[in-house]
Amino acid sequence: MAPHELRRPFKRPAISDQQKRRDLSLIRQEKNRLDAQRHARFLASTVLSLQPPADSEIITDSNPSPEQEFELVEEGIEALELDVRQAAKLKGTEARRWFAKQLMLPEWMIDIPDRLCHDWYVLARPAGKRCFVVSSNGTTVSRLRNGTLLHRFPSSLPSGARNKGNSSSQSYCILDCIFHELDQTYYVTDMVCWAGFSLYECTAEFRFFWLNSKLVETGACDPPSVYHKHRFSLPTVYNCDQAGLHASYTQPTSYVKDGLLFYNKHAHYQTGNTPLALVWKDANCSQYVIDTDSKGQILDQQQVVLALQENGKLTTSDEPPVEFGCLDMEFIQKSGLQTGDLLKFSVSDRGLCFTDGKLEKADIQFISKSNRARAFADSFSKIMFQHMVRHSPLQIEDLFASITSSAVKDKEVTDEEMAD
Amino acid sequence: MAMEVTQILLNAQSVDSSVRNHAEESLRQFQEQNLPSFLLSLSGELSNDEKPVESRKLAGLILKNALDAKEQHRKIELVQRWLSLDASTKSHIKSSLLKTLNSVAQEARSTASQVVAKVAAIELPHKQWPELIVTLLSNIHQQPAHSKQATLETLGYLCEEVSPEVIDQEQVNKILTAVVQGMNSAETNNEVRLAATRALYNALGFAQANFSNDMERDYIMRVVCESTLSPEVKIRQAAFECLVAIASSYYDKLSPYISDIFNITAKAVKEDDEPVALQAIEFWSSICDEEIDILEEYGSEFTGDSEIPCFYFAKKALPVLVPMLLETLLKQEEDQDQDEGAWNISMAGGTCLGLVARTVRDDIVPLVVPFVEENISKPEWRQREAATYAFGSILEGPSPDKLIRLVDSALSFMLNALITDPNNHVKDTTAWTLGRVFEFLHGSTVETPIINQANIPQIINVLLQSMKDVPNVAEKACGALYFLAQGYEDIDSPSSPLTQYFQEIVQSLLAVTRREDAGESRLRTAAYEALNEVVRSSTDETGPMVLQLVPLIMMELHNTLEGGLKLSSDEREKQNELQGLLCGCLQVMIQKLGSSDVTKYVFLQFADQMMGLFLKVFGSRSATAHEEAMLVIGALAYAMSSDFAKYMPEFHKYLEIGLQNFEDYQVCAITVGVVGDVCRAIEDKILPYCDGIMTQLLKDLSSNQLHRSVKPPIFSCFGDIALAIGENFEKYLMYAMPMLQGAAELSVHTSAVDDDMIEYTNLLRNGILEAYSGIFQGFKGSPKTQLLLSYVPHVLQFLDNLYMEKDMDEVVSKTAIGVLGDLADTLGPNAGPLIQQSVSCKEFLNECLSSDDHLVKESAEWAKLAIGKAISF
């Protein structure tokens, strides 16, 4: 038995650079595997996507089944080929047009969806500027609905500031927010991409779940600091049952409320107008129920913005567009209007007539071309909602009633089952 | 044959190679034709006192090699072969071996004692040869000295070969009694005492119970301490080795003896022969190792405290220990810095001083500073070097507050010394000390920066100048630059203080790599490593300059691939080493440039050429070069994502070759990781190559030659492939699933006693779970999900078993609960009833939901959502 070796490393760094390279590779691989795993989990599966309604009798023509709507959602995804980071390089009108197309635009609630209390979330919508917040490459940018830049600032979002561990260009975030001037806070109303992973194809249920668990973790909800100029905050999201609706409608919030937002739990993030996210308001929960002019005065008559089509037809921004009337060619030429222009009209009192929920006749007067900053015409639901507000508004009591009746119906079903 | 054997064994040692080869061939044939008779005649030869000692020794050696081998699979074969021999042959061989222990020929005895230990290592765990120890010890007191020596030596080897749980306490007691008596001063024969002392070293691992008994421990310690005073230097050295082993194995039992031991070690360090003095210093280094570990556990928030209390031996001995160590620093050898294998008392003392500083932290500073101040400017180089080394040694441990002012005032002195000191040894240590300053006192975590705008120009200037010095000094200067750059790795601003020197630093480093003497003192390696760190810590500002560096390094790599045939094997080895370094360099650059969109698209223009070079590196035979080439290709695949697919027609065969490299298992392991990189990069475009890759991976798993550490990553890799190719994984299910199931069953129960085995088991579990996760997620949304249904009960059973074993670490918990979610997510209501029956979906899920570890919690929350969906219908 020979004496034992006792030489220790002398004047050498403890870790060789080769070992460091090996370790860094392993860390990268591990992280990438975790990311790939998460990404796979993010993708909505058959289980997590829409379920057909239990009772097929409730489907009527004016009320497309959620299944059909789901098909529409699927089609919308393809439009998102262009990467948001490349889009940041777009300028002027192009940028505006691109960004304007990326947001999900809730329709206005003009009738109450079935299964409101089962399939929907509700939250009190903060008053402020609707915007996209994009963090990438060490900076955070917010853009308004029309694409114009609101702020450029460092934030604690992944890749949102130039500090430790945020250097990867793969990692970027897109949040759907409302910027609340009063407390200079971004209220996050939806999560579109997180740390490089798209959530477009995920259900709202999943997006909110992830939003809740991820945002706080990053420190984005902390008070502002050098590398985090604006605070982010999450409005409380409730299940749309009696208690949830009551809480969102009456509970005081840290922000000024502007109506209620409803999200269908099973819907993906669909850009453009969607009936699977809805907005509703009344005077109790919003200062701006009826449209006002630039001085804040309520207009005598309802105004609508419509898009001028090639054949002179006036349409809404919906897909497919809803026609509200027609301008004659002579008038168009005389006024120097062009196809695609957005035009403002006033609606005479009781000027909209409906049969079976479809527009029969619209009595509208041309006012002028619309403000250039606008990207889109009004949606059908917006016009309808404004019309209803002036004549027969959908009231909070109606919403509560719908939830109660649905609960009663459920109970009856259960009782019947028990009786079997 | 018996007569012939002697001659053959002698011929096998002949200087004439044809005679030798012929003899070796005869031995091989003999072994193949009749193994029992071959072994019998060897043992007969070994035990026969009338035979020449040379043939006896070789007979013993061949016997030994017939019982054990380094490679794991070969070892298992040999064990099986021995166990299956018939009993009478074995018993005959064993009695010959025992008989040899009494031989007068020392070399025959010594060989026999090693063979006895090898046989014991095979038989004792199988409860065979139970009488061995009793037989060995039966009449040890009546034996002549030479037999006694052989018996003790045999016990020593036996304790080295056999694991402690195989021998019962009663026999352990007998062994220890015999050994300690052999060491006792009553024993007059030095050979016996030496054998006994060395045997004790190996027997210490068996003495757990005896060290817990005060009387027995006192006795053993007394005998060991007495042996350190033996007039025989080998005995003193062996006794100190025992003390070193006791310091790490029985730290918590040392309290009553530590002041005596201090006196003994201090005396040895001062005046004993160097081999003894080195062991005496090693004792204190080992004490520090123990206390550093314990204090680290004290400091960590999770455990709160350690199982073993810290006795602060180093701290208590500090006032005498430090001066003793400082004294050793002055005993440098000339040119020790140029000698790779050097190890002397000043090196051991300095190393120990560094460990003491890490143990006692702030307390060491006032004890060392006066020595530094007194000696740093002395005309004798030994004093200047010792002072500098002492200063460098205490830079890790004490809080920066305690050191900043000292370092601040010493910095310009050292920068000056690095250029102007006439002695290379002093310059070497000065550059090393600067490196330590940058390593421990510079960077984003240090509050008061010692490097500022005012001194950075001088620092850079001196380091770059020093890089032109003799190789050993230049190497340390490169090292210092490495840590200087590392301090800026986490920089918070888009601009780094190194930016304006970037070009100059890079050029200087490249110049170093091209020095004719760059092969000495690993200078070239140090220069490339520093270059890597400078690139790693650079910011976007210098991206364009890093880009310019890419074709340069590619050209260097290209040059190494030329004219390989003309090279000598020594030159080729250097060439391969260089290829590894250059691949490493490109890897760092790819990672840097790939992380920014601006530079990524430009550098990807080089991708085709780069890939061409990397593939050529696979033409070399060097494992290190292969490994580095694989790593850099993995980085390239990640940077290129789906575009990488165009290289697959060529590259896939190198993947397969890498996966077959059992011998250099590091290469195999890295290749497995790169398969994962490629899966994620090109996703389903990997499909055409999956047959080849899966075949190799499955072979790897079934091989008992492949190092076990590669197996967990292979399972994870199944998951990567499944996730990439989705339902196309169908055709591999019938092969992969049984392997996963088998491994899962094995991994549930940790028969593991040691930490290594527990860690390995958890790695294995994690790999298996990652495979399941990838497979379930890969099939999501496919009409073929029903193919997975038959595997569900087993997967759920595995999860339940893991949960009930209660010994998962966080990583396994996270992956396991994730698998439950993946299963529910992909199979939905089809698996609902099965999931509901599992324990995992209730208790385990709830436990994970309330975990403190946020990754566990995240997975659990996700699983809850998926399970909720699967069982709500």
- Minimum CA–CA partner of B286 in chain A: A6
Question: What pLDDT sits at residue A297?
Answer: 79
Q: Closest partner residue to B676 among A17, A29, A46, by Cβ?
A: A29
User: What's the gap between Cα B695 and its chain centre?
Assistant: 30
* Cis peptide bond prior to A320, omega within 30° of 0: yes
pLDDT digits over B781-803, tens only? 888 998 999 999 999 999 999 99
- Alpha carbon of A266: minimum distance to chain B alpha carbons (Å): 12
Confidence class of residue A52 from pLDDT cuts 50, 70 and 90?
Answer: very low
Note the pLDDT of residue A192: 85
Give A-chain residues touching B202 at CB under 8 angstroms.
Answer: 1
What confidence tier does B54 reach under pLDDT thresholds 50, 70, 90?
very high
- Token digits of residue A187: 């209220």
Express each pLDDT in B680-694 by its tens digit.
999 999 999 999 999
The predicted-structure confidence for A323-365, as pLDDT tens digits, reads as follows: 888 888 888 888 888 888 889 998 887 788 877 767 778 888 8
User: Quick one: which of B306, B108, B389, B777 has its CA closest to A36?
Assistant: B777
Q: Counting beta carbons within 10 angstroms of the beta carbon of residue B816, is it exposed (0 to 12), middle (13 to 18) or buried (19 or more)?
A: buried
Query: Using CA atoms, how far apart are residues B543 and B63, in angstroms rounded to an integer?
Result: 63
For residue A164, the chain B residues in CB contact (below 8 A) are: 444, 490, 492
User: Do residue A32 and residue B676 have CB atoms under 8 angstroms apart?
Assistant: yes
Contact in structure between B329 and B269 (CB atoms under 8 Å):
no
Say whether A6 and B597 touch across the interface (CB within 8 A).
no
d(CA A160, CA A152): 10
Q: What is the mean pLDDT of residues B661-676?
A: 93
What is the reported pLDDT for B495?
A: 83
Please give, rounded to a whole number of angstroms, the shortest distance from the CA of B777 to a CA of chain A: 6
Tokens of B530: 């520093």
| pLDDT (tens digit per residue) in A406-415 | 776 666 655 5
Handedness of CA B576, B577, B582, B588 (dihedral sign): positive
State how far the Cα of A182 lies from the Cα of B383, in Å rounded to an integer: 69
Among candidates B725, B726, B709, which has minimal Cα distance to B766?
A: B709
Q: Assign B265 a pLDDT band (cuts: 50, 70, 90).
A: very high
Residues of chain B in contact with residue A48, where contact means CB-CB under 8 angstroms, are 825, 865-866, 869
A8 contacts on B by Cβ (under 8 Å) = 285, 348, 351
What lies within 8 Å, CB to CB, of B391 at 6+ separation is B368, B372, B376, B410, B433
Which tens digit of pLDDT belongs to each residue from B519-534? 998 999 999 999 999 9
Residue B756 to residue B246: CA distance in whole angstroms: 22
Structure-token pair, residue B791: 């595997």
- Grade residue B704 by pLDDT with cuts at 50, 70 and 90: confident
Select the residue from B191, B440, B640, B680 to test the A interface by mutation, using most A Cβ atoms within 10 A: B680
Does A36 contact B780 at a Cβ distance shorter than 8 Å? no
Cβ burial, residue A407 (10 Å; 0-12/13-18/19+): middle
The amino acid present at A324, given as its one-letter code, is F
- Terminal alpha carbon distance of chain B: 82
- CB contact at 8 A, B561 and B616: yes
Choose from B869, B871, B872, B873 for mutation: most chain A CBs within 10 A: B869
Instruction: Decide if pLDDT at B423 tops 80.
Output: yes
In this complex, the residue of A33, A138, A169 whose CB is nearest that of residue B676 is: A33
Q: What's the CA gap between A207 and A221, in Å, rounded?
A: 17
Question: What value, to the nearest 5°, has the Cα angle with vertex B724 and ends B723 and B727?
Answer: 70
Find the mean pLDDT for residues B648-659.
96
pLDDT for the residue A80: 35
* The pLDDT value given to residue A95: 59
Distance CA B92, CA B177 (A): 29
Indicate yes or no: CB of A17 within 8 angstroms of CB of B482.
yes
Per the DSSP assignment, residues forming a β-bridge with A307 are A315, A342
CB contact under 8 A, B828 and A21: no
CA angle B541, B545, B547 (to 5 degrees): 110
Residues in chain A: 420
Tell me what pLDDT residue B115 has: 97
Written as one string, the DSSP assignment of A207-274 is HHHHHHHHHHHHTTTSPPBTTB-SEEE-PPPEESSHHHHHHHHHS--SS-EEEEEEEETT----SEEE
Q: How far is A80 from chain B (nearest CA, A)?
A: 19
pLDDT at position A371, please? Answer: 77
User: Per-residue confidence at B643, pLDDT binned at 50, 70, 90?
Assistant: very high
**Measured on CA atoms in the order B74, B80, B84, B87, is the torsion positive or negative?**
positive
pLDDT greater than 90 at residue B363: yes
The mean pLDDT of B192-215, rounded to a whole number, is 95
Residue among B125, B134, B56, B65 at smallest CA distance from B97: B56
Once rounded to an integer, what is the mean pLDDT over residues A235-243? 92
Burial class (CB in 10 A: 0-12, 13-18, 19+), B31: middle
- Residue A10 to residue B780, Cβ atoms within 8 A: no
Rounded mean pLDDT, B449-477: 95
Cβ-Cβ contacts under 8 Å, A4 against chain B: 201, 241
Closest CA of chain A from B704, distance in Å: 24
Q: How far apart are CA B223 and CA B226, in angstroms?
A: 5
Binning pLDDT at 50, 70 and 90, where does residue A188 land? very high
Angstrom CA distances, B847 to A107, B805, B824, stand at 42, 14, 18
pLDDT for residue A48 is more than 50:
no
Contact between residue B353 and residue B326 where contact means Cβ atoms under 8 Å apart: yes
Which chain A residues touch B279 with a CB distance below 8 Å?
A: 6
Q: Which chain B residue has the Cα nearest residue A11?
A: B432
Q: Which residues contact B534 (CB under 8 A, 6 or more apart)?
A: B481, B485, B498, B502, B505, B506, B509
Distance CA(A258)–CA(A264), nearest Å, equals 19
For chains A and B, what is the number of CB pairs under 8 angstroms?
A: 149
Tell me the pLDDT band of A79, cut-offs 50, 70 and 90. Answer: very low
The whole-number average pLDDT for the span B52-70 is 94
Q: From chain A, pick out residues whose CB is under 8 angstroms from the CB of B160.
A: 1
Pairing of strands A149-153, A120-126: unpaired
Residues on A contacting B at a C-beta cutoff of 8 Å: 1, 3-4, 6-8, 10-11, 13, 16-18, 21-22, 24-26, 28-29, 32-33, 36-37, 40-41, 43, 45-48, 85, 137-138, 162-164, 167-169, 205-206, 209, 213, 217, 227
The pLDDT score that the predictor gives to residue A358 is 75
| CA dist., res. B476 & res. B467, Å (int) | 8
Q: How wide is the angle at C-alpha A30 spanned by C-alphas A29 and A33, nearest 5°? A: 85
Whether residue A47 and residue B828 make contact (CB cut-off 8 A), yes or no, is yes
* Residue A405: how many other CB atoms lie within 10 Å: 11
pLDDT at residue A349, rounded to an integer: 78
- Return d(Cα B102, Cα B113) in angstroms, integer: 10
What are the tens digits of pLDDT across the range B539-572?
988 999 999 999 999 999 999 988 656 778 888 8
Nearest-CA distance from B157 to chain A in Å?
A: 8
Partner residue facing A48 (CB), from B201, B479, B869: B869
User: What is the pLDDT, as a whole number, of residue A170?
Assistant: 55
Share of chain A above pLDDT 70, in %: 78
A416 pLDDT exceeds 70? no
Q: What was the pLDDT predicted at B746? A: 86
Mean pLDDT of A38-45: 61
Q: How far is B3 from chain A (nearest CA, A)?
A: 32
Residues of B in contact with A11 (CB under 8 A): 337, 428-429, 432, 476
Helix H or strand E encompassing A352: strand A342-355
Q: CA–CA separation, B190 vs B196, rounded Å?
A: 10
User: According to the model, what pLDDT value does residue A167 have?
Assistant: 47
Contact A168 B866 (CB under 8 A): no
Question: Looking at CA atoms only, how far is residue B491 from chain A in angstroms?
Answer: 7
Interface contact flag, B238 A3, Cβ < 8 Å: yes
Q: Which helix (H) or strand (E) holds A354?
A: strand A342-355
At A2 the pLDDT is 62
Phi, psi of B80 (to 5 degrees): -60, -40
Residue among B825, B859, B861 with most chain A CBs within 10 A, to mutate: B825
Confidence of residue A24 (pLDDT cuts 50, 70, 90): confident
Question: How does DSSP assign B357-393, residue by residue?
Answer: HHHHGGGGHHHHHHHHHHHTT-SSHHHHHHHHHHHHH
Chain A residues touching B435 at Cβ < 8 A: 13
Least confident of A40-54, A92-106, A266-280: A40-54
pLDDT score, position B684: 92
What's the mean pLDDT in B353-372?
A: 97
Highest mean pLDDT among A293-297, A380-384, B494-498, B626-630 belongs to B626-630
**Band of the pLDDT at B868, cuts 50, 70, 90?**
confident
Would you state the pLDDT for residue B670?
95
Radius of gyration of chain A (CA): 26
Q: Are the beta carbons of B638 and A32 separated by less than 8 Å?
A: yes
Pair of tokens at residue A348: 């005479």
- Above pLDDT 70, what percent of chain B? 98
* Residue B167 pLDDT class (50, 70, 90 cuts): very high
Residue A51 has pLDDT above 70, yes or no: no
pLDDT tens digits, one per residue of B269-319: 999 999 999 999 999 999 999 999 999 887 765 454 457 789 999 999 999
d(CA A380, CA A367) in angstroms, rounded, equals: 19
ipTM reported for the complex, 2 dp: 0.78
Burial A121-158 (b: 16+ CB within 10 A, else e): bbbbbbbbeebbbbbbbbbbbbbbbbbeebbebbbbbb
